[in-house]
Amino acid sequence: MHQVLVVDDEPVIRALVAASLQMDDLQVTGVADGATAIAAVEDTAPDLVLVDVGLPGMDGREVLRRLRTNPDTAAIPVLLLTGLEPAEDTGADGIVHKPFTLQALRDSVAACLRK
């Protein structure tokens, strides 16, 4: 069973994403901030990280940067969740634009896990 870490400061979004992905038999853990996300990735080595760009404090781009610069976490796929258009190449494995449909989210996650 694949493990997915969902990082979003909005509890409703975390719960919605988790419920949707659990329908695809994925094990989902949710956290609310970047620092907790980094610790969770280092502890559990999930198969995929979904991270909101607009996190308070350490934003999603910084989470991605830290994961990519750590040799132990650099290969873990990362999808960014964002309501903004990224201005540059993010280095993420994909972007899920808010608002998203649950099917689009599930399709993006499935594609990342197949890579």
- The chain-wide mean pLDDT, for the chain, equals 93
Q: How many whole angstroms separate alpha carbon 39 and alpha carbon 41? A: 5
Q: Tell me what percent of the residues of the chain surpass a pLDDT of 70.
A: 96
CATH 2.60.300.12 holds for 3-114: no
| Interval 79-108 mean pLDDT | 86
More confident residue, 91 or 63: 63
- pLDDT greater than 90 at residue 70: yes
Burial of 36 (0-12, 13-18, 19+ CB in 10 A): middle
